[in-house]
Amino acid sequence: MSKMPLPTETRLLAAALKHFALSGYEGASTRQITQEAKANISAIPYYFKSKEGLYRAVLAHIAAIVKKDLTEEAQLVREALARPRLSQTESQILTHRVLSRFVRLLVSGKVSPSMARIFLREQMEPTASFRVFYEETMRPMHEILTALLARGANLPYPSEQATLAAHAILGQVVIFKTHREAALRRLGWRDYGEKEVEKIIATVLTHTDFILTAYRKGQGRAL
């Protein structure tokens, strides 16, 4: 029995993801996207209204994958933060859980190289559609981690200091995706297998604990 072809909308999203990642929003050709998707050029306005609409759909697709993978942890953290007294130990355990999940998501095949390129490009040269990715994935994740760190490190919340700390901690995770080849070469690894991922998680959590301890002891630099 022959395989049923993928819907046109799905094929367009897959082709668009590839071409937007390689060439950026301005450089990507809608003609090349439709040719690769084996679709008529009129399919883009039919399904997505415009090239910009197609790009927003790609960003929303990436956001949905990230959001779905982190939903369980996000809900646990929100419930914990709603309690009037969340101990530093509980906060630290939840921080470990969120970061561990984020590492696994980012270095696994769920976030493809094309998705990572679009993510990085939007950071360096944000388009008008950046808010889709920011509001759907980055901001919620950042707010959760910031609140946890504030509880675990005796930092005021909300505060610039807690937000900066969260950004720095997330950065040490993201670099294993954006600088993957450099990491593999320096470490002599062939790929990110389960053993390697566990080592990355252990390193990230160790650094995070050092940061939390320093703030608790008042060793963080005043802003």
| Residues 4, 42 within the same domain | yes
**Gap between the Cα atoms of 38 and 8, Å rounded:** 8
Residues in CB range of 12: below 8 A, 6 or more apart: 33, 34, 37, 39, 43, 44, 47, 48, 54
Q: Is residue 129 part of a domain?
A: yes
Per-residue pLDDT reduced to its tens digit, 39-50: 999 999 999 999
Instruction: Determine the structural domain holding residue 74 and report its residue range.
Output: 63-216
The yes-or-no verdict on residue 6 having pLDDT over 90 is no
Reply yes or no on whether the pLDDT at 105 is more than 50. yes
Rounded to two decimals, the pTM is: 0.90
Q: What is the mean pLDDT of residues 68-81?
A: 92
Task: Give Cα 83 to chain centroid, integer Å.
Answer: 27
Task: Kindly state whether residue 105 falls inside one of the protein's structural domains.
Answer: yes
Q: What is the CATH number of the domain that holds 192?
A: 1.10.357.10
